[in-house]
Structure 1
């Protein structure tokens, strides 16, 4: 098959890596929740060979992820696990969980289930890394984010850009503390939480 391709992934992979890399030096395994096309997984695994990068997503996305993995030179990226936020996660304890561009795509109820999963499966001392757009004080950070939110809601009324305060409250309930809130290009953020 032709590999799926996301221009957003292509644009943001290098800025994300530059922030993530120093934090992940002390870890050896990352579970990526919602690997999407598989582009991030391949790029990050190739750039951080000390890590095992475990992809995961719903079954409908596995073929595309595997197409990227087949063409990758990285030996440290793993075939996708079937992970649906409505179902029990197929892992035990993991040291790092990474997810990109998921919280605004899935429903608020599924974001809550994501944090339930994090609470169950992120090891003590572990990191949760979340990339995407967020609102602050209930307001969009840019006109483009407001337009993006409107577009998302035309696709799925349950989707939309989440308030950072709500996300941090959910993280706190899961036993996490916000380490850093990094400003990223294109009005995105990279949130790093530690358990």
Structure 2
């Protein structure tokens, strides 16, 4: 047993009473914050779906102290990790984690914005459809839905590294894999979420921003 947090792998097993570490978090968190600074409301509740290790939630709560942050995840191991990171950070604007399945029933919560980072490709398509449906129902007019991760794009070639990643995901679970931006935009539109903009991010990732229609 080591003193440091364990490496994070989605669905990696039963609950572990300790922090997990997702190496990608430190590489992408500041780039995500730069996008969110111009997109998030000045105050209110932000719901993070599929918070994973919990490291993003801590970083965002530090970066946006006037916003209230609610991390969630369906995985007991993730919830334990989020709770451990939250206890260490001791931030007044970071709520205890909630169990939440993107495709299942959501708790009664009315966020001003919803974030979902690196879930769409590591979950069945039904999880994305559930996220979009419930975000469309929960967000106020103009409320933000922010998605981050690797995607396929019809207007340009996919990076070889992303194609290899897509193949590795499908080998782990045939229901997983990179989604086409166009498919996500169409599905979001059916739930009253208008596509706002796309932002190219480091390491062949994208930020997709949607707004709840009035």
Unaligned stretches of 5+ in structure 2?
1-16
In the TM superposition, residue 176 of structure 1 has moved relative to its aligned partner by 1.2
Query: Where in structure 2 are the equivalents of 1:29-178 lying within 5 Å?
Result: 29-60=45-76, 61-137=78-154, 141-178=158-195
TM-score, length-scaled by structure 1: 0.95
Q: 1:183 aligns with which of 200, 206, 211?
A: 200
Structure holding more strand per residue: 1
Runs of 4+ in structure 1 off by over 6 angstroms are none
**How far apart, CA to CA, are the structure 2 residues paired with 1:144 and 1:138?**
18
In the TM superposition, residue 75 of structure 1 has moved relative to its aligned partner by 1.2
- Work out whether residues 140 and 146 of structure 1, in 8 Å CA contact, stay in contact via their aligned partners in 2: no
- Work out whether residues 143 and 211 of structure 2, in 8 Å CA contact, stay in contact via their aligned partners in 1: yes
Unaligned stretches of 5+ in structure 1?
none
**How far apart, CA to CA, are the structure 2 residues paired with 1:15 and 1:6?**
16
- Work out whether residues 61 and 67 of structure 2, in 8 Å CA contact, stay in contact via their aligned partners in 1: yes
Q: How large is the RMSD of aligned CA atoms in angstroms?
A: 1.5
TM-score, length-scaled by structure 2: 0.87
In the TM superposition, residue 138 of structure 1 has moved relative to its aligned partner by 8.2
